[in-house]
Amino acid sequence: MKFPPGRAELPGRPWVLPLALAGLLLGGCAATPTLATFRMDDPPCYDRARRGNVPVVDSHLHFRPFGGPALPFDEVVGYLERSGVLFANVYGIGQMLPLDSLCTYYLDCPGTPVTPTLKNDFANAMAHAESARRDVHLTLSMTFPDLGRPETVLPRMRLLDEEFPGRFGWMGEVNLVKQALFGNWHRAVPLGKIRDWAPFMAELRDRGIPLAVHADLGNHREPTAYLDWIEALLRHYPDNVIVWMHLGLSRELVDLDAGNHVAILTSILERYPKAMLDISWRVLEDHVFSDPRKRAVYAAFLNAHSERILPGTDFVASANRTFADYRSDLEATSRILRYLDDTAFRNIALGRNYFRLLNLDYEAPPVCGAPDNGG
Ligand SMILES: [Zn+2]
């Protein structure tokens, strides 16, 4: 495990030792992990048997809806606190309905165009700046890019930099091809356009900003119809950290043979060392992982490649949703984590991968009783 440079400063923080002692007095493993736990040099181990398998990271969380009002920012942060989620990416949403639309979900309004926009990134950045909550570590994400018009991306990144210097550390979820949106005028980004992304991809690479991409693998009729899209992206930009959302699955493709799917994913991870995979969205659990035969195949894959996987809920914070909805999404998307070995659990659920990707000054605690707790 490589530690970020800032880690050397830890012993100088005056509150680390008292917090560590408090943790011990509260019973070591029994103490509820906090952000401070993840800054300790020698944190108490994480007891999976007692705490369950809910991750401390939600790397895929939309604070803004497709349309209509959003839940208040601090209310969503409160959901995270109440759930034990300590780290999250603050996504807007990659596409919005028109402001005068009465819909909150694009599938309820077929024929209405949904388009990428800067609105949500501004709204999130302002809400984050004004938020009083500081017990959850939040990373702001740029969700505005219109990948079919790549010439617009770098100027808008500069605009966000000017208005919110140093605040955005992630880009996505952006849409390369999302079949669910085809009824709302979205089309797959033309393959030939991907090479035109070079200016903003260079900027992301130089600043260490991951790009999280929704790129459907295919559909029931043609399971790998869009494999060329994610392949082209990875081939053009092998030095960027690119996170492939939902393992390429979607509602249009939940009956893919697990063995074939895992073979595709493995090939990608082997050929592109910087590629990462996101296992967010309850559709994966509800329609794929919940099948015990498929689950065994995916669990073996996740354990074998655990340094390349990120967890998330894909919760969308429209105003009609509640804490119970967030808990339900979190619980569903966590179910597969039960089948991880302790090393994989530490990498994926306890944040080790997330901290490494973002060079964050945090360290995942070891799992209690794991034989491989060494850093
Ligand atoms: Zn999403």
How many residues are recorded in the chain? 375
Query: Checking DSSP bridges between strand 309-310 and strand 57-58, what pairing results, if any?
Result: unpaired
Q: How far is the CA of 15 from the centre of ligand 1 (A)?
A: 37
Q: Which domains does the chain have, with CATH numbers?
A: 52-358 (3.20.20.140)
Q: How far is the CA of 246 from the centre of ligand 1 (A)?
A: 9
* pLDDT tens figures, 237-273: 999 999 999 999 998 888 899 999 999 999 999 999 9
Q: Over 50: is that where the pLDDT of 17 sits?
A: no
For tokens 């740029």, what's the residue?
142
Residue with tokens 């100027």: 155
- What angle do the packed helices 227-236 and 258-271 form, to 10 degrees? 10
Is the pLDDT score of 133 beyond 90? no
- pLDDT for residue 359 is more than 80: yes
Give the mean model confidence (pLDDT) for residues 200-225.
Answer: 96
> For residue 12, how far is its CA from the centre of ligand 1 (angstroms)?
39
Instruction: Note the pLDDT of residue 14.
Output: 43
Of the pLDDT bands very low, low, confident and very high (cuts 50, 70, 90), residue 105 is confident
Cα 225 to ligand 1 centroid, rounded to whole Å: 21
Query: Cis peptide before 173, with omega less than 30 degrees from 0?
Result: yes
Global pTM reads 0.89
- Is the pLDDT assigned to residue 21 strictly greater than 90? no
Distance from residue 61's CA to the centre of ligand 1 (Å)? 7
User: 13 pLDDT band (50/70/90 cuts)?
Assistant: very low
Cβ–Cβ < 8 Å for 336, 298:
yes
* 289 CB neighbour count, 10 Å cutoff: 24
What is the reported pLDDT for 229? Answer: 97
- Rounded average pLDDT over 157-168: 96
Mean pLDDT is lowest, of 45-59, 66-80, 179-193, 243-257, for 179-193
Strand partners, 250: 253
* CB-based contact 2:356 (threshold 8 Å): yes
Distance CA 44, CA 28 (A): 5
**pLDDT for residue 3 is more than 90:** no
| DSSP type of residue 245 | G
Compute the distance from residue 87 Cα to the ligand 1 centre, in Å.
Answer: 17
> Virtual CA dihedral for 128, 129, 135, 136, nearest 10 degrees?
30
Q: Tell how far the Cα of 60 is from the centroid of ligand 1, in angstroms.
A: 6
Best-predicted range by mean pLDDT (9-23, 184-198, 278-292): 278-292
